[in-house]
Structure 1
């Protein structure tokens, strides 16, 4: 069944709202950058630098399915600028953690996205 509940917020406004809200959801020291995806108006690109000694960077694609629901896809994990195998347990835990934070951020922005 198709949803009439489409996202109507301008992509740049949405990216800015995510940029303000996501850092509040992350662990202290983690850094996030949120950009509009130039190829898809329903998608944001999220880059997260994890704090600590690991020097890991995570890239996610966050696509709005409708005004409330998002689909999160991991696009890359790097350590010191080199792509790493994301299958190790520590990285899998971080990925799961960041996915949860991304969903929390989307929930926190419901008032903004659900007009």
Structure 2
């Protein structure tokens, strides 16, 4: 990230803004957790727990490329606490869907991060 384009709010404030916004962009029954990425000051970690019988949880890293653009990376998928193959069609579909929701959230949070 260019030095002159750093995020105008700190990582904790950003995580807090995401934590309050993300539930409005994902399916109502799904649950999301957001926290600062300890290894990257320009990134957040997001876990989305799917509702219903699937019991999947998706871990994403959301890195700010600049104050407007995020890079969303799928880190891990678990089902009932066990890692699962991320290449299956259902997992790929869900992951794609969640990535879209995460980008929507980034745009919604954008008003807080870009002045």
* TM-score interval for Structure 1 and Structure 2 normalised by the shorter chain: over 0.9
Matched residue, 2:83 = 83
Shift >2 Å, 4+ stretches: 2-6
Q: Matches of 2:106 and 2:12 in 1, distance apart?
A: 15
Matched residue, 1:32 = 32
Q: Matches of 1:114 and 1:5 in 2, distance apart?
A: 10
RMSD in angstroms over aligned alpha carbons? 1.2
TM-score (norm 1): 0.94
Q: Matches of 1:39 and 1:3 in 2, distance apart?
A: 18
Q: Matches of 2:43 and 2:3 in 1, distance apart?
A: 17
Q: Is the 8 A contact 1:59 1:76 kept in 2?
A: yes
Matched residue, 2:71 = 71
TM-score (norm 2): 0.94
Larger helix proportion of the pair: 2
Structure 2: segments with no counterpart, 5+ residues = none
Name the SS of the counterpart of 2:66 in structure 1: coil
Tell me the CA shift for residue 3 of structure 1. Answer: 8.0
1:8 aligns with 2:8: yes
- CA-to-aligned-CA distance 1:36-75 (integer Å, 9 cap, x gap): 0112110100011001110000000000011100000000
Q: Matches of 2:112 and 2:78 in 1, distance apart?
A: 32
Q: Matches of 1:36 and 1:6 in 2, distance apart?
A: 15
Structure 1: segments with no counterpart, 5+ residues = none
